[in-house]
Amino acid sequence: MGPALTPKTPGRALAWLSAIASLLLLSAGLVTPALAHEVRPALVQITNLKSGGYDVVWKQPVIGDMAIRLVPHLSGGSLEGPVTTESVTPGFRIKTWQVRKGAPLDGQVLRIEGLSQSVTDVLVRVSTEGQEINGVIRPSNPEMTLTLSGPKGVSVPAYLRLGIEHILTGFDHLMFVLALLLLVGPNWQILKSVSAFTVAHSITLAFAALGVIRFPSAMIETLVALSIVFVACELLPRPGRENTLTRRFPWVIAFVFGLLHGFAFAGALAQIGLPQGAAPQALLLFNVGVEIGQLIFIGGAVSVIIALKAVSGRFPDRALALARATPAYVIGACATYWFIERLVAAMA
Please, are residues 258 and 231 in contact by the beta-carbon 8 Å criterion?
no
| 222 shares a domain with 145 | no
What is the rounded distance in angstroms from the CA atom of residue 139 to the CA atom of residue 282? 21
pTM above 0.75, yes or no: no
**Res 129: pLDDT:** 72
Range of the domain at 321: 11-37+170-347
Q: Residues 6 or more apart from 112 whose CB is under 8 A from it?
A: 42, 44, 70, 71, 72, 73, 122, 137, 142, 143
**Res 159: pLDDT:** 74
| 32 shares a domain with 48 | no
Residue 189 lies in a domain: yes
pLDDT band (50, 70, 90) for residue 23: very low
CA angle, 348 as apex, 94 and 263 as ends, to 5°? 65
| 18 shares a domain with 64 | no
| 107 shares a domain with 217 | no
**Res 28: pLDDT:** 45
| 313 shares a domain with 249 | yes
Question: Does 133 have pLDDT greater than 80?
Answer: no
Cα 34 to Cα 29, 37, 268, 292: the distances in Å are 9, 8, 16, 25
> Which residues on neighbouring strands pair with residue 197, listed in sequence order?
none
- Select the more confidently predicted residue: 142 or 166: 142
* Structural domain count of the chain: 2
| 75 shares a domain with 21 | no
Q: Report pLDDT digits (tens) over 310-337.
A: 666 666 666 666 666 777 888 888 889 8
The edge-to-edge listing of strands for the beta sheet with 109-113 is 71-74, 109-113, 143-145
> Could you tell me the CATH number of the domain that includes residue 132?
2.60.40
| 176 shares a domain with 283 | yes
